Amino acid sequence: MPAEKAHRRSKTKQLHNHSIMSETRTIVSAAKKAIASEEDTEQVQSLVNKAVQQLDKVAGKKLMHKNTAARSKSRLIASAKSATK
């Protein structure tokens, strides 16, 4: 593959991956804010589930290492459980 084409493809992929990771960070931070503000437990659970799904999706696409995603999910779920008690 010519170097110019490879460079174009890598830039396109980089932009796509950046947007997915940005979306992931937004979803996770929304879940963390909901936990911290002690909102309605159903809403917190819904946001945590959405964040877990997004982290699984990102780890499946290898945009984030699987262990990093697992650690993030574990910490998020643990904080949600302790906040709802």
Whether 73 has a pLDDT exceeding 80, the answer reads: yes
CA angle 53, 75, 29 (to 5 degrees): 60
Instruction: Report the candidate in 57, 53, 27, 32 with the shortest Cα–Cα distance to residue 44.
Output: 32
pLDDT at 54: 98
Q: Could you give all domains of the chain from N- to C-terminal order, each with its CATH number?
A: 3-84 (1.20.58.110)
pTM, entire model: 0.88
Give counts: helices (H), strands (E), the chain: 3, 0
Tokens of 4: 């110019």
Q: Give residue 1's pLDDT band: very low, low, confident or very high (50, 70, 90).
A: confident
Which pLDDT tens digit goes with each residue over 3-22?
999 999 999 999 999 999 99
Say how far apart CA 65 and CA 72 lie, in whole Å: 11
